[in-house]
Chains A and B, each alone.
Chain A
């Protein structure tokens, strides 16, 4: 039976990131949320802490840790500020990880040191206006001509794609078609590294989002973007399989972030329930409030166990697809449900943006949508059951 107590190094890392989140992130969260500004100073602080390099080997400027270390950091950040946490999550697990997993030595040497040190950010451009849950709908095209890929198309909702320190976006594109034995035609999807200073690449105006206001999200347009043939990431035609495996891992990271958000809501609600008085008692004395918060705690705890389990399986080299999908779904729902309940505990103040529970309320909804909607997780879980 596995014991989910953390080893000393994991615990110390988690404590360090908790202190950083409370002391450095929390004081500027409201300002960046209100101003919809990217928290460059916080990103620099995370870079100094080595968070962008957590799961990468030291030879590429990483910290030599693993994916679970990243997840623990994301939980602590997600508790305080989801925008900051998603900036790290997307930077590491969507931006840098594909290069680490599928890149050639030359690609790794070119990109990993700056990404792992947090001096540069990378984005992952998969979603398009007609290709979200169903990435098979990808329309962006890349044609190989005279040793160059010429890419045309557009992407939607790409995180970290337009900051001052964004240097790279990995895009998926149709690079051809193959005929199946039965005669039907199948799109060949590949992933290609596009440096953001390549002519024809543009991050369009940032979205006006409901939440995650301090996170950077843009539509991208690619018009006759020329990159060298060597910028193909991984094997041609394996793009679909590659990003599916990247998304499997990413679900553990997103689940950790959601767990943190759910826990942040519990912590705020407990504190407030002890402070706030109504009808002659602190509201935490009323069972209706106690039960609400007890249920919130149960959700956060369940979400944490789910992502710990998925991470443990992944690190042990066991299949973890279903567990990661469960963790992602449970944690996203825990965050959303807890944010709604914490807002209720706060009463009118819960609807005022100054309070962190109000920010969690706006921020948490996307956790049921991004990196695979809840419905997509259910599809994956059902598929693993052979349905």
Chain B
């Protein structure tokens, strides 16, 4: 089975995040592999390992679209256990919205499929920066494959994939034939950390750089030009103001309750 995992290089939520430049894009200087994509990678590795891993003819490929720094997210994926990586990078991609991103990724997937058909594409439930959750669904549409979103479990049997998704208190079991696109939630598994052997092994694994022309796309189809939405304006969150301080003059309890009631918190 050949599984491609979509991984995104996102700003580290541990640090303050800033918007900069034209299109108000996020400053990516302190960036990491999106935490939510680690669940997708883990799901792919578990599916592969259950079938005997690489020796059993399975492959897990990490695909990212992003600037040079995104190579780090591929590296991390390879350290964790992906077998090879593809890095789609081109200046013209900057400012791509979900629609342009899914177009670029679908072109990259078609290019990857030239070396052998892809069975499954797995992504996270959202990116921790853009948070649209649109890309996997759009990707499925562009490829003409089934989309099974926000899966809490994923299993493959023969040429069909089954997922369990929890929606508003009830569970849905969805099944589709392969190839398909699945997005997984952060409930699906406990992602592993890379170990030292993985870190060393990653140095011998291949990352294939891809340019727009190599995936057969024109610069005008992507980036701000090819996007359906453009971020005109963005504002940083206003600095937090000091909260309300209630000084106890014997009536703090009453004041507290009044405050909570006024804010409709009780």
Q: Which residues of A contact B (CB under 8 A)?
A: 8-9, 12-13, 16, 19-20, 48-50, 54, 58, 63-65, 69
Contact check, A12 vs B194: say whether CB atoms are below 8 A apart: yes
Tell me whether A63 and B192 are in contact in the complex, defined as CB-CB below 8 angstroms, given that A9-B203, A12-B79 are known contacts: no
Contact check, A58 vs B197: say whether CB atoms are below 8 A apart: yes
Give chain B nearest CB distance to A43 CB in angstroms: 15
Among B192, B193, B199, which residue has its beta carbon within 8 angstroms of that of A9? B199
Residues of B within 8 A of A63 (CB): 195-197
Residues of A within 8 A of B75 (CB): 12
Tell me whether A65 and B196 are in contact in the complex, defined as CB-CB below 8 angstroms, given that A9-B203, A12-B79 are known contacts: yes
Contact check, A16 vs B192: say whether CB atoms are below 8 A apart: no
Give chain B nearest CB distance to A275 CB in angstroms: 14
Give chain A nearest CB distance to B3 CB in angstroms: 22
Among A8, A12, A19, A64, which residue has its beta carbon within 8 angstroms of that of B197? A64
9 nearest CB pairs, A to B: A50-B195, A63-B196, A65-B196, A12-B199, A63-B197, A49-B195, A49-B193, A9-B199, A50-B196
Among A8, A19, A20, A69, which residue has its beta carbon within 8 angstroms of that of B196? A69
- What are 14 A-to-B residue pairs whose CB atoms are below 8 Å? A12-B79, A13-B196, A16-B193, A20-B193, A48-B195, A49-B193, A49-B195, A50-B195, A50-B196, A58-B197, A63-B196, A64-B196, A65-B196, A69-B196
Contact check, B194 vs A64: say whether CB atoms are below 8 A apart: no
Interface residues in B175-219 by Cβ distance below 8 A to A read 192-197, 199-200, 203
Give chain A nearest CB distance to B266 CB in angstroms: 29
Give chain B nearest CB distance to A88 CB in angstroms: 13
Contact check, A16 vs B199: say whether CB atoms are below 8 A apart: yes
Contact check, A9 vs B200: say whether CB atoms are below 8 A apart: yes
Given contacts A13-B196, A49-B193, 14 further A-B contacts (CB under 8 A): A8-B203, A9-B199, A13-B199, A16-B79, A16-B195, A16-B199, A19-B193, A48-B192, A48-B195, A50-B196, A58-B197, A63-B196, A63-B197, A65-B200
Among A16, A54, A69, which residue has its beta carbon within 8 angstroms of that of B194? A16
Tell me whether A54 and B192 are in contact in the complex, defined as CB-CB below 8 angstroms, given that A9-B203, A12-B79 are known contacts: no
Residues of A within 8 A of B195 (CB): 16, 48-50, 63
Contact check, A64 vs B192: say whether CB atoms are below 8 A apart: no
Give chain B nearest CB distance to A108 CB in angstroms: 19
**Which size class do B's interface residues fall under?**
10 to 19
CA A65 to CA B197, docked complex, whole Å: 8
Using CB atoms, name the residue of chain A closest to B200: A9
Q: Which residues of B contact A (CB under 8 A)?
A: 75, 79, 192-197, 199-200, 203
CA A229 to CA B199, docked complex, whole Å: 41
Using CB atoms, name the residue of chain B closest to A8: B203
Most chain A CB within 10 A, of B75, B79, B197, is at B197
Using CB atoms, name the residue of chain A closest to B76: A12
Contact check, B199 vs A64: say whether CB atoms are below 8 A apart: no
Contact check, B79 vs A48: say whether CB atoms are below 8 A apart: no
Give chain A nearest CB distance to B239 CB in angstroms: 15
CA A15 to CA B19, docked complex, whole Å: 26
Using CB atoms, name the residue of chain B closest to A63: B196
Most chain A CB within 10 A, of B75, B192, B193, B203, is at B193
CA A2 to CA B203, docked complex, whole Å: 24
Contact check, A54 vs B196: say whether CB atoms are below 8 A apart: yes
Residues of B within 8 A of A16 (CB): 79, 193-195, 199
Residues of A within 8 A of B192 (CB): 48
Give chain A nearest CB distance to B9 CB in angstroms: 15
Give chain B nearest CB distance to A137 CB in angstroms: 39
Give chain A nearest CB distance to B78 CB in angstroms: 11
Residues of B within 8 A of A9 (CB): 196, 199-200, 203
CA A54 to CA B192, docked complex, whole Å: 17
CA A20 to CA B193, docked complex, whole Å: 8
Using CB atoms, name the residue of chain A closest to B203: A9
Give chain A nearest CB distance to B36 CB in angstroms: 15
Residues of B within 8 A of A65 (CB): 196, 200
Residues of A within 8 A of B197 (CB): 50, 58, 63-64
CA A58 to CA B193, docked complex, whole Å: 19
Residues of B within 8 A of A69 (CB): 196
Contact check, B193 vs A48: say whether CB atoms are below 8 A apart: yes
Give chain A nearest CB distance to B2 CB in angstroms: 26
CA A19 to CA B203, docked complex, whole Å: 21
Using CB atoms, name the residue of chain A closest to B192: A48
Using CB atoms, name the residue of chain A closest to B80: A16
Using CB atoms, name the residue of chain B closest to A23: B193
Residues of A within 8 A of B194 (CB): 12, 16
Residues of A within 8 A of B199 (CB): 9, 12-13, 16
Give chain A nearest CB distance to B70 CB in angstroms: 16
Residues of B within 8 A of A50 (CB): 195-197
CA A69 to CA B198, docked complex, whole Å: 14
CA A49 to CA B193, docked complex, whole Å: 6
Using CB atoms, name the residue of chain A closest to B196: A63
Residues of B within 8 A of A8 (CB): 203
Give chain B nearest CB distance to A23 CB in angstroms: 9
CA A113 to CA B79, docked complex, whole Å: 23
Give chain B nearest CB distance to A235 CB in angstroms: 32
Give chain B nearest CB distance to A26 CB in angstroms: 13
CA A13 to CA B203, docked complex, whole Å: 13
Give chain B nearest CB distance to A49 CB in angstroms: 5
Residues of B within 8 A of A12 (CB): 75, 79, 194, 199
CA A19 to CA B32, docked complex, whole Å: 12
Using CB atoms, name the residue of chain A closest to B32: A19
Using CB atoms, name the residue of chain B closest to A69: B196
Give chain A nearest CB distance to B23 CB in angstroms: 30
